[in-house]
A and B are shown apart, each in its own frame.
Chain A
Amino acid sequence: MSAQGDCDFLVKRARELVPEDPWAAKAWLITARTLYPADFNIQYEMYMIERNAERTSSAGRLLYDIFINFPEQPVVWREISVITAALRNDSQDKHAQFLKGVFETLPGPVQCQMLLKATEQCFNTLEKAEMHLLLLKRFPESVVQHGVSLGESLLEAENMQDLDTPVNCYRKLFVCDVLPLIINNMEMRLPASLLHKYMHKAAEFYIGYVTRGPCADAQLPGPQEGGGLKSPGKGRGQRGVIDGLSEKSSLVAEPWVRLLEIVGSMGLRCEWQGEKGTRTYSELLQRVKELCRYLPGLEGETFSRCCAQIVTCSTLVLFRSAHFYISTVQPSLFQGHNSLGSTPWVLVEDLSSVFNDIEPERPSGKHAHKKRKLADGREKTMSSDDEDALGKGRGRHILVNMTEMPAWAEMLEHFRTARESWDLLHSHETLESEYNKICAAWKTESWLWFRIFLTDMIMYQGHYRKALSSLMQLTSLQPQQNQNTHPSASSLETHRALIQQASCHYALGEYRLACEKLLEVVSGLVPQNQEATKSSEEQNRGRNKGKKGNDLRLIPCTSKDILPFCLQLMLACFKLRAFTEGNRDDLSLGHVIVLLQHDWPQGETLFLKAVDKICDQGSFQYENFFNYVTNIDMLEEFAYLRTTEGGRVQLELLPNQGMLIKHHTVTRGITKGVKEDFRLAMERQVSRCGENLLSVLHRFCINEKIILIQSLP
């Protein structure tokens, strides 16, 4: 008999015995092993018996033996890869737990060796990295040797794959798993440049992660309200799995907190000024603000170190606060926000004072325009506190309905912090160029959410011309962002942009352009019942008390809130023209009267002013009057104007009435007929008082679009 024959016989006999008498089977194998200690199959069979019976410690002992004695056996490798696979995924499955237990019984150096060898066997980069990571986590001393090379290999893999997002499996592994091991290992000395590179890789990942858009494929078309401006992401799925990772490991808990931890460790390692490792984002900003004061006096390495700290910290604070701001203003842009019932908001000029008398507070024509231009020119240096006095960038208030947006205070605070960081980053040439480098590397140009923030910020700063070009960029970002989402989503984005464009044009005194944009918006709206608007208006009023005219307002992006805003904005555009001293413009005055009906009797003062003007003129021609004026107070007033007591004002309010009057000047009888027509029209009009005013005004906007636009310069 040959040795191989002996061994085969012994193993076969043992295998036969396992079911009926496992102890005998083991006795056979023990004997066999003393006869042929160098035979692999005998020991492997012993291991398999213990493994199948899930006896952890004895299986571990035997695995140790075969690992040491037969390191070249392919079967051993297969087994080790099964075990290490169990270690990698966090399965709670009983057998996986057993395999983990077996691994735990092995002495440390053997575990280390096993992981290293298993890593060598991996060809898939991701798997290999995961194996490596397992090693580093278990044996912190190996971080010094393998940490950076693992990190670099992940970054390289990311580059090789040419992935279009930083939120990918390689980066996730690098940022969430490898990087903490590297930067928290105090035995490692790394150059500051490398640390900064890693820091920025981490920041890019975390920012990309929190701001990633909702995944298109998980989206279900929600019940849409007929064509209205509604949140686009109804019923959107919450999960976003990073390609190549499991659902569980795709999840990153508390990304901003993780990022802050990394910043803390980095700061310690890069010897940042006053960096103690644990602080909040606002402390981070506070610290670099102080640091900024000393910047002009610094030079050389200290200067560049300070710059790096300022840029890194301010950039992170900027993006974080901007993200918070946008996640309140337009939550549906981001994954993980419950977009059901979350309304997007749009930042516009505050027009609550539109019904006030003209003189003290309307955006006053050319003079204001000039002043703004001046501010535009100085914009770069406008960052330090003494610029506040100019009142363009600072001291503006953003009004918001507190009941509809519970988190308003936090949102405004974030908006403020983000602006502050932005200003800081643009307070010095070096800082700005460093910041721009980061933006270029991260391709922030393509971040829709950030563009929205920038636009709002620019508007807030009063740089309306720049805001308009920013809005143009926004429009160019939208199609690619929204091509997969619900069609109404893009219409919402268009509306948002148009409303803001209108608001900017208005602020610039470009009323005609403002109106063009507005009417475009209105044509896409559906008028609501009038009642609902009242309450919100009243709530705002309290807050608005005593505020000057150049405040901003956040309004919900819904038909209900937008139509009133459009009407107000139009009123604001025409108001100036209609009441210009020494200038007669009956058409504009007519439009104003129509628009003043909305939110009646808010506009009573202005209406009386208009009536005064008509009285002064002695005549008034507005042929659309009976089409759009249904307000009983107004009708009464106009009926009165015609009377002797009212001043016998010549009113030409019927279509073609002027023609008739001219034609029949000689014949008195015809004028009588006109009188009769007017009376009839008035009577008919009174019966229309119950009509939905918003519908009337909506129709007004749509039907008279061309006249409206043409009547503005």
Chain B
Amino acid sequence: MSDIRHALLRRDPLSAAKEVLYHLDIALGSTLQTGPGLDKNTVDLVEEFIFHVPKDRNTQRKRMSCVQELQLLEIMCSYFQEQSKDAVRQVIFSALFSLQGNKADENRMATLGKLVSMAVAVCRVPILECAATWLQRTHSAWCVRLALVLVDDYCTLVPGSIATLQNVSSASPRFCCQLITAVTALYDFSSDELTPPPSLLDMVVGWITEDPRLLLLTFINTPLSSSLPLGCLEATPLAGLLRWCVKAPLASQRARKSAVTGVQPEQENGAVCEELYSKLHLSVLQVFLMLQVHLTEQNLLGRLAVLQVESVAALVEEVSALVEELNPLHAANQIQLALDRLAQALQVAMATGALLCSREDLRTLCSRLPHNNMLQLVMSGPVVPHGAAFQPSVYPYIHPARPSPLSPHPSHPALSPLPAHPALTTHHQLTPHPAHSPLPPPHAFHPASMAFQYRPIR
């Protein structure tokens, strides 16, 4: 192996990188069937000749020029484009860009950012698909960094280029879905800087209103049995988008407060954004309704929490903090709007089985929030007349009713022995979800494959 290294050391950096890629292809293409991972030597070669991590202090290799770097990216691009085997492509991609927890990671991320940005620019679907998988398996902290690169490249640096990124939704819906999850993780309204740029918001809302099913793509196509690494992105962008909708009115008020010097031009932009958030909120609710259809079909209703109680708890916490930060007198409308949206989303999520939480837990959870009529209604639940609990048979009624003295307290869904996704490993034999099937999964969620059927509720 060191023979190879010595040979490579004599070459110019570009041809050396190419050689390593070639070596990688041979090594992984043949060992794919047997399964063992990459040997240490190959990993080293990749890190030294592709990501340029110095092997030892005395061999200070000259770095590639910008042009050479671009050429290398082009080579990678065409390699993934031309590799016909999905599995090989996936393995090579992860061999190159899986984070190792070493000093090569920074360079790895830098190269990945440039590669994906390039793939978006020239519409290289195979790379976007690999990147989508990468976004699923990588810790959210790194995902957020990739998202930031793309937002910088397409939304911030060159204003007119956002249209290119816009097309991603049709080129690779899966990547698009993951990207939305990543940007919602990135922009969490924790500060004014972490407010999504209007152009990004506009694009995301555009994607979703055009096809709301986009948001469920990753969730539906992921086998339930596959355990995902800790700290990775959530399976759907729903929690993140909900955060956007709920916190946006409060954050805009906060921004107005800090920029009290009065920058008027923002006003108009603000109105546009308000409308976008309202549309987004409606879409989130509609996606919950769609999710119910899916969960019912898969017999997962009440067993799988798509919206984690922890995420909700965190959001409630953030909202309380923001409310406290604002003057309730001046921001009453914004606070009420935020609480309306929060309450509506919680209600719909519970009703559709996306959120597994009892009314009682909800009351505890939201006890610190200011008063809001909608929230009050949601916390207490619907009024059920004695002995006349009308339930239309076609309507899957899953949220527990307000406890009545005659009926026993409904069992706590969260306390049921069924663990929530993604830790649903012990019960995967119950679920019809296909695990590693060589065939396309029968329920592969593609926008065109799911005809909208008539159901009592959507």
Contacts and interface: CB of A to CB of B under 8 A. Distances in A.
Interface of A: 1-3, 6, 9-10, 21, 23-24, 26-28, 30-31, 33-38, 61, 64-65, 68-69, 107
Interface in B250-293: 275, 278-279, 281-282, 285-286, 289
B456 A28 contact: no
Contact of A1 (B289, B351, B383, B457): B383
B363 to A, nearest CB: 16
A64 B347 contact: no
Given A6-B377, A23-B279, A69-B456, A34 B351 contact: yes
Contacts, number: 82
B415 to A, nearest CB: 22
Contact of B395 (A3, A10, A37): A37
B282 A27 contact: yes
B341 interface: yes
Contacts of A28: 340, 344, 374
A33 B457 contact: yes
A35 B282 CA distance: 16
Contact of B457 (A24, A36, A37): A37
A10 B383 CA distance: 14
Nearest to B278: A23
Interface of B: 275, 278-279, 281-282, 285-286, 289, 340-341, 343-344, 347-348, 350-352, 373-374, 377-378, 381-385, 390-392, 394-395, 397, 399, 454, 456-458
A3 B457 contact: no
19 contacts: A1-B383, A6-B382, A6-B383, A21-B278, A24-B281, A24-B340, A27-B282, A28-B340, A30-B286, A31-B374, A34-B351, A34-B399, A34-B457, A35-B347, A35-B381, A37-B392, A37-B395, A38-B395, A64-B454
A31 B285 CA distance: 8
B47 to A, nearest CB: 50
B373 A9 contact: yes
A9 B378 CA distance: 13
A21 B343 CA distance: 18
Contact of B390 (A6, A24, A38): A38
A59 to B, nearest CB: 13
Candidate in B282, B286, B347, B348 with the most chain A CB atoms within 10 angstroms: B282
A38 to B, nearest CB: 5
Contacts of B278: 21, 23-24, 27
A2 B402 CA distance: 12
A2 B383 contact: yes
Given A31-B347, A61-B454, A69-B456, A23 B281 contact: yes
A485 B279 CA distance: 69
Contact of B391 (A21, A38, A107): A38
A705 B219 CA distance: 111
Contacts of B382: 3, 6, 35-36
Contacts of A9: 373, 377
Nearest to B347: A31
B76 to A, nearest CB: 43
Contacts of B378: 31, 35
A30 B378 CA distance: 13
Contacts of A69: 392, 394, 456
Nearest to A110: B454
B333 to A, nearest CB: 12
Contacts of B399: 34
Contact of B348 (A30, A61, A65): A30
B456 A68 contact: yes
A314 to B, nearest CB: 56
A184 B136 CA distance: 62
Contacts of A30: 282, 285-286, 289, 344, 348
B210 to A, nearest CB: 15
Contacts of A26: 282
The 7 A-B pairs of least Cβ separation, nearest first, read A34-B351, A3-B383, A31-B344, A23-B282, A23-B278, A35-B382, A27-B282
Contacts of A24: 278, 281-282, 340
A24 B377 CA distance: 17
A61 B395 contact: no
B344 A27 contact: yes
A668 B391 CA distance: 137
Contacts of A27: 278, 281-282, 285, 341, 344
Contact of B352 (A2, A23, A34): A34
B347 A34 contact: yes
B377 A35 contact: yes
B173 to A, nearest CB: 22
B220 to A, nearest CB: 21
Given A23-B282, A38-B392, 4 more contacts: A24-B282, A26-B282, A36-B382, A68-B456
Contacts of A68: 394, 456
A402 to B, nearest CB: 69
A655 to B, nearest CB: 105
Contacts of A2: 383
A25 B374 CA distance: 13
A9 B373 CA distance: 10
B211 to A, nearest CB: 14
A494 B378 CA distance: 91
A107 B457 CA distance: 16
Contacts of B384: 3
Contacts of A34: 347-348, 350-352, 399, 457
A33 B160 CA distance: 42
A564 to B, nearest CB: 81
A3 B373 contact: no
B385 A3 contact: yes
Contacts of B352: 34
Contacts of A23: 275, 278-279, 281-282
